Amino acid sequence: MRDEATQIGQVRRIFNQVVPVYDLLNHVLSAGQDLHWRRFTALAMRLQPGDKVLDVATGTGDLALAEADLPTRPLVVGLDLVPAMLGPAKKKIAKSGARVRLLAGDGTALPFAGETFAAVSIAFGIRNIPRRGAALAEMRRVLRPGGRVYVLEFTTPQGPWVRRIYTRYLMHLLPKVGGLISGDEESYRYLAETIREFPTPSEFRDEMKQAGLVGARSHPLTRGVAWLHVAERPLG
Ligand SMILES: C[S@@+](CC[C@H](N)C(=O)[O-])C[C@H]1O[C@@H](n2cnc3c(N)ncnc32)[C@H](O)[C@@H]1O
């Protein structure tokens, strides 16, 4: 088990280095499914006109852009620990004119007052944050009462056959292809390990409850390769 400082250092190094090929790798390694997963998440959020939304670990901004592109035109703030990852996001926003504000920051110490946002999202980011409980508690703090958290994340599928095929893909093919495109096989081995170590959907729902969120539920996507976990800040 790596200590927290080592993990954060590794996350910073990996995402600083992967920026130029990040979007391409996402599409190749998920066979184009990542676009569908983010779009599904944005639609599931049922945002209203005037809603303010926070996308934590926004990276190159694809979920933030899918949210801003909804017919209700919410105002989206995208935050990421690694400023370099926001570079491609800035370009996409400038090109599309989307209502997205970007800033660098840490998901475990959000630079916002309590009860600021109608919804908070995070896509493929929570498993890179060693103190998941602190990140979930911060999301709860900045949500308005009744507001929802949407966590899109990979989990090893539970069915025996899919699990066996997926684990082979994760531990062998993904680091090889990731290494070929990015020149850094080791980083992709690390990312594969974070997926294998991520809790099951039911364990993750317990973590959401421990962070003071209620009504936790999970929806499988693509045979349980990815899951959308949803919970809300209680009204009282
Ligand atoms: C796999 S990428 C996901 C990016 C984007 N959400 C997407 O769907 O493609 C993970 C992102 O989490 C960010 N990250 C890691 N730790 C973080 C933290 N403590 N606070 C905010 N962002 C963090 C990384 O910099 C990286 O951009």
So where are the chain's domains?
4-19+32-155+200-232
Per-residue pLDDT tens over the stretch 48-91: 999 999 999 999 999 999 999 999 999 999 999 999 999 999 99
Q: Output 234 or 166, whichever has higher pLDDT.
A: 234
104 Cα to the center of ligand 1, angstroms:
11
Segment 194-204 mean pLDDT: 93
Q: What is the mean pLDDT of the chain?
A: 93
Nearest residue (CA) to ligand 1, atom 25: 82
**Is ligand 1 within 6 A of the CB of residue 80?**
yes
Above 90 in pLDDT, residue 102?
yes
**What one-letter code names the amino acid at 227?**
W
Provide the greatest CA pair distance for the chain.
Answer: 51
Task: Choose the weakest-confidence range: 79-93, 159-173, 218-232.
Answer: 159-173
Q: Output 205 or 11, whichever has higher pLDDT.
A: 205
Q: Measured in whole angstroms, how far is the alpha carbon of residue 229 from the centre of its chain?
A: 11
**Is ligand 1 within 6 A of the CB of residue 123?**
yes
Query: What's residue 1's pLDDT?
Result: 57
Residue of 21, 124, 151 to mutate, ligand 1, most atoms within 8 A of C-beta: 124
Q: Judge: domain 4-19+32-155+200-232, CATH 3.40.50.720.
A: no
Residue of 128, 142, 154, 195 to mutate, ligand 1, most atoms within 8 A of C-beta: 128
25 Cα to the center of ligand 1, angstroms:
15
- Sign of the torsion formed by the C-alpha atoms of 146, 122, 110 and 48: negative
The pairing of strands 117-123 and 100-104 is: unpaired
Task: Tell me the Ramachandran region of residue 232: left when phi exceeds 0, alpha when psi lies from -120 to 50, beta otherwise.
Answer: beta
- b or e along 39-51 (b: 16 or more beta carbons within 10 Å of the residue's beta carbon)? bbbbeebebeeeb
Structure pTM? Answer: 0.95
CA–CA distance, 3 with 138 (Å, rounded to integer): 21
CA–CA distance, 216 with 229 (Å, rounded to integer): 7
How many other C-beta atoms can be found within 10 angstroms of the C-beta atom of residue 181?
A: 17
Above 90 in pLDDT, residue 232?
yes
Above 60 in pLDDT, residue 225?
yes
